[in-house]
Amino acid sequence: MHLVYKRSCGIDVHKKFIVACTLLAQEDGTEQKEIRTFSTMTADLLACVDWLELKGIEMVAMESTGVFWRPIFNLLEAHIKVMLVNAQHMKALPGRKTDVKDSEWIADLLRHGLLEASFIPPQPIRDLRDLTRYRKILMQERAQEVNRLQKVLETANLKLASVASDVLGKSGRDMLDALVGGERDPLVLADLARGRLRAKLPELRLALDGRLRPHQTFLIQQILAHIDFLEQSLEVLQSEIDERLAPFKEVTTLLDSLPVIMDVAKAVVIAEIGVDMSRFKTAKHLASWAGVCPGNKVSGGKRLSGSTTKGNVYLRSVLCQLAWSIARSKTPNYLSSLYHRIARRRGKKRAILAVAHSLLVSIYHMIRDNKPYKDLGPEYLEKQDSERVERRAVERLQQLGYQVTLTPKQEVA
């Protein structure tokens, strides 16, 4: 079999140590193999880098084991070409399951060009990715705290959530602070309502007539303090994300042209796919990597499964959130018409995934070609299939008991 790399190395990664196997092709057709084990401490990893440079290694391959590959990758990428590989793509043959055999197997697959590299963005994008993923964790923690707060209120017979749409709005927060301060009179508490909520004063007085016990007051106080801390942390984190986004202002401007609010989502999109679309051969490759397109599993001429793959859960999640926002939009556009067209036939969830796919394809071409989004219009799909639209309309009118004759507009004139 043809050798792609004459000097290759495979690394089997673990938490406390790594096993590196080098394969050097000799002029007589034989191979020189050497295996060493290093700890994952920085000093030992640097020794591994020096050893690989001394060997003249052209390419290093290692599997993506949790986060344990990152320290090794960070030190290697400045000196030697590194390929990170999905562990599912290089399953060892039976009888080869030891750390040494794993490293040999990786090196052998690498030298023959049988491994496909995973997408690893540049360092600035990776830094931004860490921040956006941490922001998602903080937002999830805040949502959990809000749910805990509502649970305590319900337990205390306080039905504030049944009247106010947001218990942590300005009115709701004033009432909760008053409850923590010792106020129990539902008339006084209801009078803290602001704006449109004051139209619900009778319902509020009934909802705030509860039985709050001392330990529940303490719980509400602690939960509110934790929510305040999380909100402050999110503000500081958002400032840092905005600072990291500054070098990509041109791309963020392009993303703002999409028919949906991209204030938070644009940072996630850039952090997950980067700004260099040459890494993905086509928009289809990107959609498959993100997990927003049908799967492909066929055997014996039968389609066994068409379910989507897991893909990039962070990117897929934000794309689906944007799709839901577009679906609820009152401003007609191409993407909203695509959603309603598919939702009628195949359901809302499939329609959302189709819109998410279309969004990602648009983002790919926008970034690659450096052009803003251009909406095709809500009538685009119907114009593409005008005959089918006419046939369905006629069939529907005939079902209602009408006799239909279509006359082109030009003839009427």
pLDDT in tens, the chain (413 residues): 678 899 999 999 999 999 999 999 888 878 899 999 999 999 999 999 999 999 999 999 998 888 999 999 999 998 999 999 988 777 666 666 788 888 888 999 999 888 888 899 999 999 999 999 999 999 999 999 999 999 999 999 999 999 999 999 999 999 999 999 999 999 999 999 999 999 999 999 999 998 999 999 999 999 999 999 999 999 999 999 999 999 999 999 999 999 999 889 999 999 999 999 999 999 999 999 999 988 777 777 777 777 888 889 999 999 999 999 999 998 999 999 999 999 998 999 999 999 999 999 999 999 999 999 999 999 888 887 788 888 888 899 999 999 888 888 765 44
pLDDT at position 95 is 64
pLDDT at position 116 is 87
- In-domain check, residue 348: yes
pLDDT at position 92 is 60
- In-domain check, residue 149: yes
- In-domain check, residue 234: yes
Q: Are residues 136 and 67 in the same domain?
A: no
Q: Are residues 260 and 274 in the same domain?
A: yes
- In-domain check, residue 118: no
What tokens were used for 335?
């993407």
pLDDT at position 94 is 65
pLDDT at position 412 is 46
Q: Are residues 261 and 291 in the same domain?
A: yes
Q: Are residues 241 and 151 in the same domain?
A: yes
Long-range interactions of 371-378: CB distance < 8 A, separation 24+? 371/254, 372/253, 372/254, 372/257, 373/254, 373/257, 373/258, 373/259, 375/259, 375/333, 375/334, 375/335, 376/334, 377/333, 377/334, 378/332, 378/333, 378/334, 378/336, 378/337
CB-count burial class (<10 Å; 0-12, 13-18, 19+) for 101 = middle
What tokens were used for 209?
């007539």
Strands 17-25 and 7-13: antiparallel
Domain ranges, residue 137: 124-247
Q: Are residues 262 and 356 in the same domain?
A: yes
CATH of the domain at 233: 1.10.287
Write down the pTM of the prediction.
0.85
Q: Are residues 243 and 290 in the same domain?
A: no
**Domain finish residue from 111, 135, 154:** 111
- In-domain check, residue 408: no
- In-domain check, residue 230: yes
Q: Are residues 87 and 128 in the same domain?
A: no
Q: Are residues 25 and 138 in the same domain?
A: no
- In-domain check, residue 382: no
CATH of the domain at 106: 3.30.420.10
Q: Are residues 182 and 254 in the same domain?
A: no
Strands 297-299 and 302-305: antiparallel
Q: Are residues 101 and 146 in the same domain?
A: no
pLDDT at position 102 is 87
Q: Are residues 229 and 255 in the same domain?
A: no
- Quote the number of domains for the chain: 3
- In-domain check, residue 2: no
Q: Are residues 27 and 98 in the same domain?
A: yes
CB-count burial class (<10 Å; 0-12, 13-18, 19+) for 66 = exposed
